[in-house]
A = this chain, B = another copy of it.
Amino acid sequence: MVSAPLDTIERPSAAKERLRLWIRLLRASRLIEGELRERLKRDFDSTLPRFDVLAALYRQPDGMLMSDLSRFLLVSNGNVTGIIERLVKDGLVSRAAREGDRRASIVKLTATGERRFTEMAAAHETWIEEFLGDVSRSDAERLSATLKTFRSNWEDGH
């Protein structure tokens, strides 16, 4: 037993590789998020959290509960309260008590909100294409699959 396993000598451990991955993942998201934030502000006088809420509601024409939204977006309840408040004030979202349950509110896009969102979504798509256009289709598929697996495993255990 003179030598350690090859893995620990000849290249970074798998753990180090995963740590490096996390750091790059974080930096990439921050770069992209920062750029998106800037453009949403510039072109639509809006924000990323608002965009996320609109996107979630767009997929659910029958509306969502506040708690549905916070679960789906991975943010706290109190957070959603504030964001919805502003979207309602801007006329992009409507809010009504759920039939027969005055605790729950059902939140929907208004017609204006829907129109506004489709504009934002179109711009968003071209921006992402601008940012990630250099990633080949096969890389995108592989990466995407890895991240999906990660998330499934994660959510099963938590």
* Interface of A toward B, CB cutoff 8 Å: 14-15, 17-22, 24-34, 74, 125, 128-129, 131-137, 139-144, 146-151, 153-154
Q: Quick check: B74 and A135 within 8 Å, CB to CB? A: no
Copies in the complex: 2
CA distance in complex: A133, B20 (Å):
13
Q: Quick check: A30 and B142 within 8 Å, CB to CB? A: no
Main secondary structure of the interface of A (DSSP, over half): helix
Known: A24-B151, A142-B142, A143-B143. 19 other contacts (CB 8 A): A18-B128, A18-B133, A18-B140, A19-B125, A19-B128, A21-B132, A21-B143, A22-B32, A25-B25, A25-B28, A26-B32, A26-B33, A27-B74, A131-B150, A131-B154, A134-B149, A139-B142, A142-B143, A142-B146
List the B side residues contacting A150 at CB < 8 Å: 28, 131-132, 134-135
CA distance in complex: A12, B79 (Å):
34
